[in-house]
Amino acid sequence: MREALAAPGVAVEVFATDEVGNRHPELPAAATAAGVPWLRCSGAVVEHLSDTVTPQGVVAVCRMPQVALADAIRPGARLVTILAHVRDPGNAGTVIRVSDAAGADGVVLSHGSVDAYNAKCVRASAGSLFHLPVAAGPDPAAVVVAARAAGLLVLAADGAADTRLDDLDSGTLAVPTAWLFGNEAWGLPSQLRALADEVVAVPIYGRAESLNLSTAAAVCLYASARAQHVGG
Amino acid sequence: MREALAAPGVAVEVFATDEVGNRHPELPAAATAAGVPWLRCSGAVVEHLSDTVTPQGVVAVCRMPQVALADAIRPGARLVTILAHVRDPGNAGTVIRVSDAAGADGVVLSHGSVDAYNAKCVRASAGSLFHLPVAAGPDPAAVVVAARAAGLLVLAADGAADTRLDDLDSGTLAVPTAWLFGNEAWGLPSQLRALADEVVAVPIYGRAESLNLSTAAAVCLYASARAQHVGG
């Protein structure tokens, strides 16, 4: 809610219980400052407007920012996340959040992925959806082409790859990079892997068969972020 | 299911539809090899036995392995995960999975955390619950004391810490380590942070306020794993 109210032109109106307004007075203050109506209502109204089982007493009507592919993959971008055929909204939202945390310049949900404005995705992103450009892209192959045209090294994450993340030196990880992540269940199709500059596995040191999407993305994105910011 | 059948003495009996047995013939074969009855039944029976909305056609009755604290924090352990007051079973299961992937020797869910045998936790662990010792520990402070007694450096993860993960050199990260993670919403209480050798934040390079528990744990555990296995 805080992030939506802070993002210019996003929130249209807010419905909230008095309890929320009293407990978090900075929220109605932020709404007023942004010229967004703060409409007091009962918990039953919020419950009706919300699709969660345990609503938090406040709902905002927001515009969906129109983000073009060129906004998410800008010239000069250093870190970009591309999701290909990612279907679970909780996963997608968590990857948007971790991309933001790792300092990514943009996220692209390619054609066939979940809608970034799915309510579960919005909640899982914990406000990050309003922090960095998140574009609904075309076919994933076209997104990869756009990333390379922007000068990004494209690294595809695939648990079965021969190259391990730990095999990449910090010099390689420090260059402007787009990370490409595939579907939760079946990963990246071979045509997409073939388009990447390198296919990379997060090494499994124990007996787990794999990592889930958001933890694998966290390890990959932070490996790049560390190399880019710390240099080693 | 595969992991439960492969873990000695865990599975007691399996209820499965013929469809599952035909599609995954290795499962009834594994059950037979382990001396576990494979009981064919209808989808309606599986649905009744399962608590998921979309059951996968197969349910195993399993024993809960009795894991003592001393099994999860053994002398010679190099990497251990300690969860203090972690309440969400999906988070706990995902952290067990990423701990397994990072090569951890054990996981401790201290008193006040969710039960590792919560069905959602079992599913989120994706079999890792049967790969490494997962103990239900005493009070988190007592678990930290046990970890130090076992010769482990105790690193507490806290987004507000002054020391950043990237400030630790690979020599420090390579020593036998127990990572301590706190509650999803309110983190680690100050008494627990005070017991750690170092309180460490995953750096936020963008505008996200924080990471969620499982992605933060993935970044921390893999930083240790990489230093321990690669040395840099």
pLDDT for residue B146: 95
pLDDT for residue A24: 95
ipTM of the modeled complex: 0.91
Do B58 and B74 have their domain in common? Answer: no
DSSP annotation of A131 reads: T
Do A50 and A75 have their domain in common? Answer: no
Task: Give one DSSP letter per residue of A139-200, joined into a string.
Answer: -HHHHHHHHHHTT-EEEEE-TT-SEEGGGS-HHHHHS-EEEEE-BTTTB--HHHHHHSSEEE
Do A51 and A73 have their domain in common? Answer: no
pLDDT for residue B232: 46
Burial status of residue A231 (CB atoms within 10 A of its CB: 0-12, 13-18, 19 or more): exposed
CA distances from B36 to B27, B40, B42, B66 (A): 11, 13, 19, 20
Residue of chain A minimizing CA distance to B167: A230
Would you call A101 and B211 a contact, using CB atoms and an 8 Å cutoff?
A: yes
Would you call A206 and B103 a contact, using CB atoms and an 8 Å cutoff?
A: yes
Closest CA to A134 of A176, A89, A83: A83
Do B13 and B96 have their domain in common? Answer: no
Q: Decide if A229 contacts A79 (C-beta within 8 A).
A: no
Q: Decide if A81 contacts A179 (C-beta within 8 A).
A: yes
Q: Which tokens sit at A177?
A: 């990079």
| Region for residue B184 given its phi and psi (left: phi exceeds 0; alpha: psi -120 to 50; beta: otherwise) | alpha
Identity (one letter) of the amino acid at B99? S
Chain-centre distance of CA B172, in angstroms? 23
From first to last of its 232 residues, what are the pLDDT tens digits of chain A? Answer: 888 899 888 899 999 999 999 999 999 999 999 999 999 999 999 988 888 777 889 999 998 888 999 999 999 999 999 999 999 999 999 999 999 999 999 999 999 999 999 989 999 999 999 999 999 988 999 999 999 999 999 999 999 999 999 999 989 999 999 999 999 888 999 999 999 999 999 999 999 999 999 999 999 999 999 999 986 4
CA–CA distance, B164 with B168 (Å, rounded to integer): 7
Task: Give one DSSP letter per residue of B132-170, joined into a string.
Answer: S-EEE-S-HHHHHHHHHHTT-EEEEE-TT-SEEGGGS-H
* Partner residue facing B225 (CB), from A102, A103, A205: A205
Q: For residue A112, what are the contacts with CB-CB under 8 A and spacing of at least 6? A: A84, A85, A139, A140
What residues in A contact B104, CB-CB < 8 Å? Answer: 206
Identity (one letter) of the amino acid at A198? E
pLDDT for residue A232: 46
Which of the listed residues B38, B62, B86 is the one where a domain comes to its end? B62
Given a cut of 60, whether residue B160 has pLDDT beyond it is: yes
Q: Which tokens sit at B204?
A: 């936020």
Do A171 and A197 have their domain in common? Answer: yes
pLDDT in tens, B100-145: 999 999 999 999 999 999 989 999 999 999 999 999 988 999 999 9
Residue of chain A minimizing CA distance to B93: A212
What residues in B contact A218, CB-CB < 8 Å? Answer: 211, 215-216, 218-219
Do B57 and B126 have their domain in common? Answer: no
pLDDT for residue A29: 95
pLDDT for residue B178: 98
Q: What values do phi and psi take at B204, rounded to 5?
A: -105, 110
Where residue B231 falls among pLDDT bands split at 50, 70, 90? low
Q: Decide if A167 contacts A173 (C-beta within 8 A).
A: no
CA–CA distance, A206 with B224 (Å, rounded to integer): 13
CA distances from B26 to A2, A154, A204, B13, B22 (A): 51, 37, 24, 16, 9
Do A36 and A94 have their domain in common? Answer: no
CA–CA distance, B64 with B49 (Å, rounded to integer): 17
| Count of domains for chain B | 2
- Sign, CA dihedral B213-B216-B220-B225, equals positive
Q: What values do phi and psi take at A136, rounded to 5?
A: -90, 110
Given a cut of 70, whether residue B164 has pLDDT beyond it is: yes
Do A112 and A205 have their domain in common? Answer: yes
Residue range(s) defining the domain that contains residue A6: 2-62
Would you call B229 and A203 a contact, using CB atoms and an 8 Å cutoff?
A: yes
Quick one: average pLDDT of B194-200? Answer: 96
* Partner residue facing B100 (CB), from A103, A208, A214: A208
The CATH number assigned to the domain holding B184 equals: 3.40.1280.10
pLDDT mean across residues, chain B: 93
Given a cut of 90, whether residue B50 has pLDDT beyond it is: no
Which of the listed residues A62, A93, A112 is the one where a domain comes to its end? A62
Q: For residue A174, what are the contacts with CB-CB under 8 A and spacing of at least 6? A: A224, A227, A228, A231
Which of the listed residues A62, A90, A114 is the one where a domain comes to its end? A62
B84-109 core/surface letters (b: 16 or more CB in 10 A; e: else): bbbebbbbbbbbbbbbbbbbbbbbbb
CA–CA distance, A112 with B177 (Å, rounded to integer): 41
CA–CA distance, A155 with A173 (Å, rounded to integer): 10
What residues in A contact B218, CB-CB < 8 Å? Answer: 211, 215-216, 218-219
pLDDT in tens, B64-103: 888 999 999 999 999 999 999 999 999 999 999 999 999 9
* Chain A residues touching chain B at CB-CB below 8 Å: 94, 97-104, 126-128, 131-132, 166, 202-212, 214-219, 222, 225-226, 229-230, 232
Given a cut of 80, whether residue B53 has pLDDT beyond it is: no
* Partner residue facing A131 (CB), from B98, B99, B206: B206
Do B165 and B223 have their domain in common? Answer: yes
Identity (one letter) of the amino acid at A167? D
For residue A221, give how far its alpha carbon lies from the nearest alpha carbon of chain B (Å).
9
For residue B134, give how far its alpha carbon lies from the nearest alpha carbon of chain A (Å).
14
Do B137 and B24 have their domain in common? Answer: no
Q: Which tokens sit at A173?
A: 């990880």
Do A27 and A119 have their domain in common? Answer: no
Quick one: average pLDDT of B164-168? Answer: 95
Do A164 and A184 have their domain in common? Answer: yes
What residues in B contact A230, CB-CB < 8 Å? Answer: 166
